[in-house]
């Protein structure tokens, strides 16, 4: 009842946002003057046949409204169009790219959350101590580093030690690594630098938020109650403060998913990581609009989906939600 209501509400919101993304996507590419698909002359190396095929496929001679419904109809059937560059359907390619993006982004983000939460707790616990000052300063510094800068610095520092690119070969098993484990190891080594870069650019903000959230929580009356009961500091933090202080972190992670994906695009670009960000960058440089449009849509859906999951997590963590 209460929970079903909540889930349905959040689901409706997620679906609505995806619908908005699709619609804005359409406008961006078809309606705004000088937008990509309308202006077919901008498609590089377009043969008359391709132009004709595109005109038919997108219904460019029909009214905008008709085009919009055609577009929706195609999307529902998993058709995001044909890549201008390799003439292959966009959707399966992007799904494959997403498969490479997810592990790297997940590992980097989860590591950032763990490190951020840990240092946030330590900082709040030992407020105004040397540890707090060092940790907070570092967090502010890393928060300020743009990922491209951090990525390039890591590239220079670890040049020759850790691979900076070549992930696509690792995935394809080109290095002749035989067997599951050696291939996994290969992939793992390639993942170190990109995932570390992502982790470092994210952990600073998580630390700062966790610290202030924890400080706020430690000032709550139930913490004083816990102390009055005779609990030790460690138990007070773990049992009473931590869960309460984590609630804002869940919101923060959900809110910054869009930014995390943005960081992933740059990082994939720097480390030639064959993920969805790399695909989008390639699409930009080759003016492959269907690919770009599809990539944006998939990223948007992924972020909205993760937000939905975060909503559910929040619901699970906080009994007060939806009262």
Hey, which residues between 7 and 36 contact other proteins (CB under 8 A)? 13, 16-17, 20-21, 24, 28-29, 32, 34-36
Cα–chain-centroid distance for residue 162? Answer: 24
CA-based nearest residue to 120, from 108, 137, 109, 135: 135
Binding to other proteins (CB under 8 A) within 35-54 occurs at 35-36
Cβ-defined contacts of 154-159 (< 8 Å, 24+): 154/193, 154/196, 154/197, 155/193, 155/270, 155/271, 158/193
Smallest separation (angstroms) from other proteins to the CB of 257? 8
Q: Which residue has tokens 């080109």?
A: 174
Segment near other proteins (CB under 8 A); pick from 58-66, 99-107, 171-179, 216-224: 216-224
Element (H, E) at 260: helix 257-270
Q: What residues numbered 287-306 form the site for other proteins, per CB under 8 A?
A: 287, 292-293, 295-296, 299-300, 303-304
Residue found under tokens 């700062």: 208
Q: Where in 57-96 is the site for other proteins (CB under 8 A)? A: none
- Binding flag, residue 98, other proteins (CB under 8 A): no
Among 119, 240, 249, 275, interactor with other proteins by CB under 8 A: 240
Minimum distance, C-beta of residue 32 to other proteins, in the bound complex (Å)? 7
Pairwise CA distance, residues 37 & 43, whole Å: 8
Q: Which is nearer to other proteins, 21 or 183 (CB)?
A: 21
Q: What are 89's strand-pairing partners?
A: 82
Closest distance to other proteins from the beta carbon of 178 (Å):
30
- Beta-strand ranges (E) seen in 130-244 are none
Task: Restricting to residues 126-145, name those near other proteins by CB under 8 A.
Answer: 127, 140-141, 143-145
Distance of closest approach, residue 256 Cβ to other proteins, in angstroms: 10
What distance lies between CA 182 and its chain's CA centroid? Answer: 28
Nearer to other proteins, 31 or 56 (CB): 31
Nearer to other proteins, 152 or 173 (CB): 152
**Three-state DSSP class for residue 174:** coil
Which of the residues 195 through 214 are near other proteins (CB under 8 A)? 212
User: Pattern of binders to other proteins over 243-272, x per CB under 8 A?
Assistant: xx----------x-xxx-xxx-xx--xx--
**Which residues 143-162 are close enough to bind other proteins by CB under 8 A?**
143-150, 152-153, 155-156, 159
Using CA atoms, how far apart are residues 51 and 42, in angstroms rounded to an integer?
A: 11
User: From CA 67, how far away is CA 289, in angstroms rounded?
Assistant: 16
């Amino acid at each position: 009842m209460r929970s079903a209501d909540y889930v349905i509400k959040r689901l409706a919101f997620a679906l609505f946002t995806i619908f908005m993304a699709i619609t804005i996507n359409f406008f961006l590419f078809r309606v705004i003057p000088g937008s990509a698909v309308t202006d077919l002359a901008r498609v590089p190396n377009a043969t008359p046949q391709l132009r004709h095929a595109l005109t038919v496929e997108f219904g460019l001679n029909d009214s905008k409204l008709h085009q919009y419904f055609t577009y929706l109809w195609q999307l529902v059937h998993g058709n995001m169009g044909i890549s201008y560059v390799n003439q292959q359907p966009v959707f399966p390619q992007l799904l494959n790219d997403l498969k490479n993006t997810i592990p790297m982004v997940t590992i980097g983000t989860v590591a950032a959350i763990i490190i951020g939460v840990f240092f946030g707790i330590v900082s709040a616990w030992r407020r105004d101590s040397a540890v707090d000052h060092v940790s907070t300063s570092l967090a502010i510094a890393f928060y300020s580093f743009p990922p491209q800068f951090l990525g390039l610095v890591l590239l220079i520092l670890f040049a020759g030690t850790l691979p900076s690119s070549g992930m696509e070969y690792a995935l394809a098993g080109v290095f002749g690594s035989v067997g599951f484990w050696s291939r996994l190891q290969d992939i793992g080594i390639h993942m170190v630098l990109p995932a570390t870069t992502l982790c470092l650019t994210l952990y600073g903000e998580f630390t700062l938020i966790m610290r202030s959230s924890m400080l706020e929580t430690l000032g709550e009356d139930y913490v004083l109650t816990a102390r009055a009961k005779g609990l030790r500091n460690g138990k007070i933090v773990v049992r009473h403060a931590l869960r309460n202080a984590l609630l804002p972190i869940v919101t923060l992670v959900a809110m910054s998913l869009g930014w995390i994906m943005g960081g992933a695009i740059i990082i994939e670009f720097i480390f030639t990581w064959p993920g969805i960000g790399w695909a989008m960058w390639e699409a930009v440089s080759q003016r492959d609009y269907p690919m770009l449009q599809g990539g944006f849509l998939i990223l948007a859906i992924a972020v909205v989906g993760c937000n939905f999951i975060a909503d559910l997590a929040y619901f699970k963590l906080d009994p007060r939600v939806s009262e």
